[in-house]
């Protein structure tokens, strides 16, 4: 391989026409991250009065505080009982209906029982994994019972007695 072939390949790779989608994405993401980092440092400097060297440490402390707050809030939400009343559920139902009709369009407002149809569709979609699990379990149980029954009948034919038991 001669030196001119290597130089031509390197020049073609560096040409602006070969700047592909991946390189554009990396360049754009670097610019965006650089701008976000600059904005973060300026905000910390303005609100907390920290220097550029202390900005990373303060960011780490603030991130830990936010993570702790998110953990505590999540723990309270999970453990708190739902204090929903019938009025809350009714208002939520009306809000969901109006949202669905807003997405579906004004012509569907005249459709009778549209809310019931959408509710059945949503509940059916939510219940589908459970129904599949139950169906697979029932099918496996039926196959086990069938195998036992076939085994019992084949034993009875070999021995000539019902149930495959010796007389």
d(CA 6, CA 19): 19
What does pTM read for this prediction? 0.37
Nearest to 1, CA basis, from 13, 14, 10: 10
How do residues 44-54 score in pLDDT, each as one tens digit?
A: 999 999 998 89
Residue 71: per-residue pLDDT: 93
Tokens of 22: 């991946």
The number of helix segments (H) and strand segments (E) in the chain equals 5, 0
pLDDT tens digit sequence for 36-74: 999 999 999 999 999 988 999 999 999 999 999 999 998
Sequence-ordered list of residues with C-beta below 8 angstroms from that of 163, at least 6 positions apart, any chain: 152, 155, 156
Question: Which tens digit of pLDDT belongs to each residue from 82-137?
Answer: 777 888 888 988 888 788 777 777 777 777 777 778 778 888 888 888 888 999 99
Helix axes 86-104, 114-159, angle to 10 degrees: 100
Domain ranges of the chain: 20-81, 108-167
pLDDT of residue 67: 94
pLDDT (tens digit per residue) in 12-21: 455 555 667 7
């Amino acid at each position: 391989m001669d030196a001119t072939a290597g130089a031509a390949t390197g020049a073609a790779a560096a040409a602006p026409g070969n700047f592909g989608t991946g390189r554009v994405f990396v360049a754009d993401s670097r610019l965006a991250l650089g701008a976000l980092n600059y904005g973060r440092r300026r905000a910390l400097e303005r609100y907390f009065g920290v220097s550029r060297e202390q900005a990373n440490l303060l960011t780490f402390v603030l991130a830990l505080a936010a993570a702790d707050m998110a953990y505590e809030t999540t723990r309270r939400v999970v453990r708190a009982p739902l204090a929903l009343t019938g009025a809350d559920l009714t208002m939520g139902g009306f809000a969901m209906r109006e949202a669905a009709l807003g997405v579906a369009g004004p012509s569907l407002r005249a459709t009778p029982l549209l809310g019931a149809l959408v509710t059945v569709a949503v509940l059916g979609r939510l219940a589908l994994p459970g129904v599949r699990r139950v169906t697979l379990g029932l099918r496996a149980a039926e196959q086990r019972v069938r195998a036992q029954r076939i085994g019992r009948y084949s034993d009875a034919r070999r021995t000539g007695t019902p149930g495959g038991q010796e007389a």
